[in-house]
Structure 1
Amino acid sequence: MYISLTNAPDAAERARPAGPRGARTVSSTVVTLGIVSLLTDISSESVAAVLPLYITGVLGLSTIAFGVLDGLYQGVSAVVRIAGGYASDRLDQPKWVAFTGYALAAAARVGLLFASGFAAITAVVTADRIGKGIRTAPRDALIAGSSEPESLGRAFGVHRMLDNIGAALGPLIAFVILLIVPDGFHIVFTASLAFALIGVLVLGLVVPNVRTRPARRAADRGRRAASRRFAWRRLWSGRMRRVLAGAGILGILTIGDGFVYLVLQARSDFAAQWFPLLYVGTNVVFLAFAIPLGRLADRVGRARVFVVGHFALLGAYAVAALAIDDLVATVLCLVFLGAFYAATDGVLAALAAETTSPQTRATGIAAVQTVVAVTRFVSAAGFGVLWYALGREPAMIAVAVLLAVAIPVAALVLRPFLSATGRAVS
């Protein structure tokens, strides 16, 4: 049954845990959104797990083409992320803006059943990622609006944990399908569509529309309407600029997981045989670390965990590039990548949420996510060219060296946040 909270003056408060338990629990809204993300990630990650092989093997495209497509997968959502966040804040309808994005991504799954060339795959990936761009900031605003400020890291950690259960199940389902039907890529795409549609239904029927602006008396409506005119200068304040800059510096050196897995596959019989399960391994590690690192971020500071988490990414690059035993290299890469995402994904959203006001929360989160998406698009496309020009190991070593330089630079940019705990920086 749909639970309507849209007209309640204290909707956000009622969605939060009551009393002193607030620091130790998360709201039912966060859990339900996690289930929606779980279903959606089963859909998207079952496709993502087979896409590198489908593109380079079945369609016979080059690594440059894969780099472009992987860059689109990582970054095309940047086109609409701020628009999605702004629409959520402007209309005060985060649920329905998010619903639009989830529905568009589900519709894009239909295109996978018919796409058979570079142009068609590009169109499908673009539509899917635009849907992701629309939905992500409003969804994260719902999470933040349903949570106590001091437990934002934990709330995002719980959501990302559920999200990554789906991200682990998706590749596992794809692996089983391809194990039974070796050329069953279209069966994977059909299953992906089914899970996406179920996720859209759960969001529309169950998740409450937690509003960021409480209802006010009629006499205050004029001032409320005026407040809807966005205070862009407040959003792009010095503190927010530092978060955007730090995320961008590190994002430009975050290549897609698919490239790391392709490097492992090229030299490892183990990685080649179990390719779709590499995504499962990464997400299982993410699942294990999401809540503990979210709690740690609340205690010691979100920016600190975010920056330090990139050392795990550096470790993954180093292991992929060096001559290490096949099985050991594969396992280490999966552990490092999972730990990296657990330390950065939800933690960065929580950092953006604490840096903005409730009225600009979705747009602030979207701005940070846009920077990450754009820089990762550039990174993936650039790495495809670098691989083609230098070879896989030299290209990976070059990116690792640059990331080693970028981490302290980003720490310097985020220095005012590094001495703070999970509470907002004054």
Structure 2
Amino acid sequence: MYLATTGRRPDAPPRPAGVGRRVPGTVVALGAVSLVTDVSSEMVTAVLPLYLVLGLGLSPLQFGFLDGLFNGATALVRLLGGRIADRGSGRHRTVAGAGYLLSALSRLGLLMAGGAAGGIAAALAADRLGKGVRTAPRDAMITLSAPPETLGRAFGVHRAMDTTGALLGPLVAFVVLWATADAYDAVFVVSFATGLLGVVVLGLFVPADPSAPPPRAASTRPVPSAPPSTVPAEGPTATPAADGPAAPAAGPNAAPGPAGPAARSTSDPAFRRVVAAAALLGAATVGDSFLYLLLQRGLDLSAALFPLLPLGAAACYLLLAVPAGRIADRAGRRIPFLLGHGALLAAYLTLLAPSGLPTAVLVLVLLGVFYAATDGVLMALAAPALPAAGRASGLAVLQTGQALARLVGAAGFGAAWTWWGPRPALVAAALALAAALTAAWRILPGRKARR
């Protein structure tokens, strides 16, 4: 894994003790957890649309509603997870670990559900609950362990490792299905065992204090020593080299103000604009599962080959995540975020072209560009506006707003597909995303001058 570095101006102030040019070890450790967990989750994600739509006979409307409902409704749990994580030192890891464990156990739920709709719904709900609980504390640990001017790179490295798991997951699912003659139960068993391994890695290698190095540091580069109390994660002189307001002068263990961490997290006007823009764009975003189903129909792929479709997007995301983070740190995070959604719009338009292998490849590449330029970049764009003591709560608000908006987008596209057909639905989605991009361009806060 290539960990990008950036140069420093000759007149730049010295870095705080413990902050080297390499990505912090805590970020790498969290990336390892995400890598293993994504192998588990993407195994199921890769076969789930086929299992539900072709295996159990759900209509696109039913699948879209089910997928959107659990992605959106259970996103409210992110708020609870973020608030609990912010209430005391060391809770970030505990809350994230509970989420990872719940998602792993949901694979057993799919295994025991058989074809029962209620059991499948409960298992999907448990998986989404686990993801909702763990995401904000995990991302908060990344922001608290990395200096604000390198957040784009830190998230790029984490997302690249995460995407490595997303790349391997469908491949493992394909191998399991091939070896077991399309036995979905075998996929669920392997996914459960891999998910438990991710929980073990979290407990062994991620420190309870996000600002402390993990048990096995990723870098052996020597750094000057200093008392822990004099090394804040973000000091008063820290300024992000990107869009958005300067980071508040608060360390990772700063006590919340009278209004509490959640209220302080959402009080910044620039942060609220980021939340509004992310929600607006999310409402115009079609779920990946629908794009893969459209490609499968256009190419007439067999059930055994369907899990390979996400590999193209994941490979492109893996290659571009770190470069996109570096560009965002240097040139500003607003423009890459908007250009990423422009790539998604191009993918929608490409799907309207005649079906064929070149069309499919281009769609998967554009989908990978979209995630590389938006996923971690959005967190890096919003984090400097949040106080350290309310970081998880604030990121949970952002992620919840985006997820609820995507509920509307997934259910709406599923309904349009059922009533109008796939092509008119895709045209409507492209028009909606173009309008959302125009509005987001005006809503997102502009780049702040560096000090």
Q: Same fold (TM over 0.5)?
A: yes
Find the counterpart in structure 2 of residue 74 from structure 1.
71
**Which SS does the other structure have where 2:182 is aligned?**
coil
1:306 to 320, 334, 337: 337
Alignment pair present for 1:395 and 2:425: yes
TM-score (norm 2): 0.83
Report how far residue 69 of structure 1 moved.
2.4
Report how far residue 307 of structure 1 moved.
1.2
Report how far residue 272 of structure 1 moved.
6.5
Contact 1:309/1:340 (8 A) holds in 2: yes
Alignment pair present for 1:250 and 2:249: no
Task: Kindly provide the CA deviation profile for residues 58-92 of structure 1, in whole angstroms up to 9, marking residues without a partner as x.
Answer: 11111111112221353244121111111111223
**Which SS does the other structure have where 2:261 is aligned?**
coil
Partner Cα separation in structure 2 for residue 28 and residue 101 of structure 1 = 22
Find the counterpart in structure 1 of residue 111 from structure 2.
113
1:381 to 387, 411, 417: 411
Report how far residue 224 of structure 1 moved.
4.2
Find the counterpart in structure 2 of residue 13 from structure 1.
none
Report how far residue 111 of structure 1 moved.
0.3
Report how far residue 401 of structure 1 moved.
1.2
Matches within 5 A, 1:67-106: 67-92=64-89, 93-106=91-104
Contact 2:255/2:389 (8 A) holds in 1: no
Partner Cα separation in structure 1 for residue 302 and residue 104 of structure 2 = 30
Q: 1:45–1:76: structure 2 CA closer, same or farther, 3 Å change rule?
A: farther
Find the counterpart in structure 2 of residue 407 from structure 1.
437
Partner Cα separation in structure 1 for residue 400 and residue 347 of structure 2 = 24
Partner Cα separation in structure 1 for residue 255 and residue 135 of structure 2 = 25
Letter of the structure 2 residue corresponding to residue 282 of structure 1: A
Find the counterpart in structure 1 of residue 401 from structure 2.
371
Report how far residue 411 of structure 1 moved.
0.8
Identity value in percent: 49
Partner Cα separation in structure 2 for residue 73 and residue 260 of structure 1 = 19
Partner Cα separation in structure 2 for residue 255 and residue 225 of structure 1 = 38
Letter of the structure 2 residue corresponding to residue 257 of structure 1: D
Find the counterpart in structure 2 of residue 353 from structure 1.
383
Partner Cα separation in structure 2 for residue 342 and residue 18 of structure 1 = 28
Letter of the structure 1 residue corresponding to residue 422 of structure 2: R
Report how far residue 211 of structure 1 moved.
4.9
Q: 1:314–1:225: structure 2 CA closer, same or farther, 3 Å change rule?
A: closer
**Which SS does the other structure have where 1:240 is aligned?**
helix
Does 39-48 or 176-185 show the bigger shift?
Answer: 176-185
Matches within 5 A, 1:26-425: 26-92=23-89, 93-115=91-113, 116-211=115-210, 224=255, 229-230=260-261, 232-233=263-264, 235-270=266-301, 274-323=305-354, 325-414=355-444, 416-417=445-446, 419-420=447-448
Q: 1:146–1:230: structure 2 CA closer, same or farther, 3 Å change rule?
A: closer
Report how far residue 97 of structure 1 moved.
1.1
Q: 1:226–1:236: structure 2 CA closer, same or farther, 3 Å change rule?
A: closer
Q: 1:392–1:225: structure 2 CA closer, same or farther, 3 Å change rule?
A: closer
Partner Cα separation in structure 2 for residue 192 and residue 231 of structure 1 = 35
Return the structure number with greater helix share: 1
Report how far residue 298 of structure 1 moved.
0.5
Report how far residue 236 of structure 1 moved.
2.8
Task: Kindly provide the CA deviation profile for residues 29-82 of structure 1, in whole angstroms up to 9, marking residues without a partner as x.
Answer: 111100100011001111000001000111111111111222135324412111
Report how far residue 274 of structure 1 moved.
2.6
Q: 1:182–1:397: structure 2 CA closer, same or farther, 3 Å change rule?
A: farther
Report how far residue 234 of structure 1 moved.
5.3
Contact 1:104/1:128 (8 A) holds in 2: yes
**Which SS does the other structure have where 1:91 is aligned?**
coil
Task: Report the count of equivalent residues.
Answer: 396
Partner Cα separation in structure 1 for residue 402 and residue 262 of structure 2 = 23
Contact 1:172/1:277 (8 A) holds in 2: yes
Contact 1:70/1:380 (8 A) holds in 2: yes
Contact 2:295/2:360 (8 A) holds in 1: yes
Partner Cα separation in structure 1 for residue 352 and residue 118 of structure 2 = 32
Unaligned runs of 5+ in 2: 1-15, 213-227, 231-253
Contact 1:321/1:394 (8 A) holds in 2: no
Letter of the structure 2 residue corresponding to residue 380 of structure 1: A
